[in-house]
Amino acid sequence: MKKLAFLLLVAVVLPLGIVSAQSEMMTEVGEGEGALDIIAWPGYIERGDTDPAYDWVTQYEADTGCAVNVKTAATSDEMVALMNEGTFDLVTASGDASLRLVYGGRVQPINTDLIPSWSTVDERLQNAPWFTVDVDGDGTAEHYGVPYQWGPNVLMYNTETFAEAPTSWNVVFEEMALPDGESNVGRVQAYDGPIYIADAANYLMYHNPDLGITNPYALNVDQFNAALDLLRQQRELVARYWHDAYIQIDDFTNEGIVASGSWPFQVNLLQYDGQPVASVIPEEGATGWADTTMMHVNSPHPNCAYKWLEWSLNPKLQGDLAAWFGSVPAVPAACTGNELLTDEGCGINGFDNFEQIKFWQTPVETCNDADDSTTCVPYREWVTSYIAVIGGR
């Protein structure tokens, strides 16, 4: 039942006819092919162009002879669409994309024996359900990637508007006067992606417990409709639905935006630029992401890809990336001795908050592990419904 639900799900973003068995796992790593093409979130693959202190590409290229080419993607749906093109090797997929890629036949199982540093990965991530799946039904789950980084979706706010950190997500969901005396109408943003419906559901979990929401990614029809109603209300407040991190940075700098859900990456860059910005996880908690580097089923450069998978786990890269993005390393050893992250960085970025974050998942119709008869709203309906909300319907 669950596998069938996923196969139906991928039809939203993948054309018919490509759902197929994954290729066999590689058994050895050979010489690099000279190139590596990666789809990544903004800020995830740095070569020192923005700040020379943050460069984890140059040394890899020198060591392997694999020239790295990066295509940034702003949403998980964009990542899935790009992987469908078949011209990329790797993707840094979040949990709302990873299972679509697995069951859509777009990624291949990873031979962890070919990754010497696999044992250093945080045990909380090694067998996470968003990338470890028994696709062939033999009773043993396969790993479809290597954990990269994780973290929360934070509430970013302007410190000149908010003298004290806001305690609730209500500042972006409910019309109100903000602490500076001005209305929040036209001064807040929301994320331009269907998975944002989960943020509304998370808010309702706290403020409307009678709905019975226990998982913001597993919503029955009534719960789903309540989340949509909240988002329609929010639409009257929103100045922009953001999906480009750099445009959001400009909006906070130049366009009068004072509050929005965001990633620590934007917070860090705005603070680096001297902007009056801070972030908080409000009382309702937060959604979040645990990203996995996944390998295309038809990777053009598989040896370079495996070399990157190993390289991506070295503590220096993991710590530098966590410092740059504001995320948490997938390798706990990166939390000590890193000059950029400092020994306090992992704690500041939320290393101990793993259990409190509701990590992005792909919503499916069969959504209750204990009872396969339970029906929830699948992702394909999240897509069409969120488009309608943004369009004013």
Q: Per-residue confidence at 3, pLDDT binned at 50, 70, 90?
A: very low
Q: Per-residue confidence at 10, pLDDT binned at 50, 70, 90?
A: very low
pLDDT in tens, 58-108: 999 999 999 999 999 989 999 999 999 889 999 999 999 998 999 899 999
The per-residue DSSP string of 291-352 comes to EEEEEBTT-S-HHHHHHHHHHTTSHHHHHHHHHHHT-EESSGGGGSS-TTT-TTHHHHHTGG
pLDDT at 7 over 80: no
pLDDT in tens, 18-73: 344 446 789 999 999 999 999 999 999 999 999 999 999 999 999 999 999 999 99
pLDDT of 86 reads 83
Q: Per-residue confidence at 373, pLDDT binned at 50, 70, 90?
A: low
**φ, ψ for residue 160 (rounded to 5)?**
-80, -30
Mean per-residue pLDDT of the chain: 92
Note whether 107 and 83 are within 8 A (CB). Answer: yes
pLDDT at 12 over 70: no
pLDDT at 158 over 80: yes
pLDDT in tens, 267-326: 989 999 999 999 999 999 999 999 999 999 999 999 999 999 999 999 999 999 999 999
Separation of alpha carbons 384 and 6, rounded Å: 17
Q: Per-residue confidence at 204, pLDDT binned at 50, 70, 90?
A: very high
Fold (topology level) of 2-151+288-359: D-Maltodextrin-Binding Protein; domain 2 (3.40.190)
Closest listed residue to residue 110, CA positions, set 309, 311, 314, 313: 309
The per-residue DSSP string of 15-77 comes to -TT---PPPPPP-------SEEEEEE-TTSS-BSSS-TT-BSSHHHHHHH--EEEEEE-SSHH
pLDDT at 168 over 90: yes
3-state helix, strand, coil in the chain (%, to 5): 40, 20, 45
Phi-psi region of 110 (alpha: psi -120 to 50; beta: other; left: phi over 0): beta
Instruction: Supply the DSSP symbol for 129.
Output: T
One fold for 2-151+288-359 and 153-286+373-390 = yes
Separation of alpha carbons 128 and 100, rounded Å: 15
The structure's pTM equals 0.84
* CATH ID of 153-286+373-390, from 1.20.1440.130, 3.40.190.10, 2.102.10.10, 3.30.465.10: 3.40.190.10
CA atoms within 13 A on the CB side of 363: 24
pLDDT of 15 reads 37
Q: Which helix (H) or strand (E) holds 6?
A: helix 2-10
**φ, ψ for residue 48 (rounded to 5)?**
90, 5
Separation of alpha carbons 231 and 242, rounded Å: 15
Per domain, the residue ranges of the chain are: 2-151+288-359, 153-286+373-390
Place of tokens 């973003």: 13
